[in-house]
Amino acid sequence: MRSRIIKNKLLLEGKTKKIYTTKNTFEVLIQYKDSITAFNGLKKKFIQDKGILNNEITTLIFKFINYCGIKTHFIRKINNREQLCHKVDMIPLEFVVRNIVAGSMSKRLGIKEGIQILNPIFEVFYKNDKLKDPLINDHHAVFLEIISYEELNTIYSILSNMNNILKKYFLDKNIILVDFKIEFGKNHKNEILLSDEISPDTCRFWDKKTMKKLDKDPFRIGLKKKEEILDIYMEILKRLNVS
């Protein structure tokens, strides 16, 4: 029988999650909040039970990724809002994998949204609120002493494998994986682990048949009410639960 996990001190609070220490030095408890944000937190809203949905969605996806042999920080779901995860020192970089042109890439390069990318594009953003998380390249990241070229190669290998796995995983559920953002951290053994979350907050999902957006893009552009946004997240969870 598993012992009850007790959260101790609040370690960190972000836009959509709180992280607590536990009795185990190498484990943390992650709690999902009922908030949705966009544009680096400039736009935000409280949506009742959204944290429950993101916790469940991320749990299902991380369990699948773990099963596929990719090492992640996820250990297990504790309750409807909380997960037990390996404690990691987060690498202050966000990695975006793009399969179809959308969002900031479309605006930045003046390319119409929806164009298929033959070879997935990896982008790196420096996590720095004061600088508004600028787009950088590998050489910048190494110059800033955030990461080494060897570690970047390891991460790109993980991302390539993960992207192939997830594209098929979602397509089987009539979802197109347009792009996704993910972060990595290092555990006490200095191993690089896939971290953060995978949900409609961090991915662009389009319906395979209708091309309807099944992520938080409708919130970004202000077209949806709270109930409609919640319905989108519930639809993703519903499809993930169908084997």
The predicted-structure confidence for 187-197, as pLDDT tens digits, reads as follows: 999 999 999 99
Query: Between the CA atoms of 164, 170, 175 and 177, what dihedral angle is there, to the nearest 10 degrees?
Result: -30
Interval 53-82 mean pLDDT: 98
∠ Cα 237 52 230 (to 5°):
60
Q: Is the pLDDT of residue 1 over 60?
A: no
* Contact of 201 with 125, CB cutoff 8 Å: no
Per-residue pLDDT of 85-119, as tens digits, reads: 999 999 999 999 999 999 999 999 999 999 999 99
158, β-bridge pairs: none
Secondary structure (3-state) at 131: helix
pLDDT of residue 39: 77
Q: How many CA atoms lie within 13 A of 68 on its CB side?
A: 18
Query: Cβ atoms within 10 A of the Cβ of 87, count?
Result: 17
Contact (Cβ atoms closer than 8 angstroms) between residue 238 and residue 225: no
Sequence-ordered list of residues with C-beta below 8 angstroms from that of 212, at least 6 positions apart, any chain? 206
Task: Specify which residues 122 forms β-bridges with.
Answer: 97
Residue 13 CA to residue 7 CA, distance in Å, equals 14
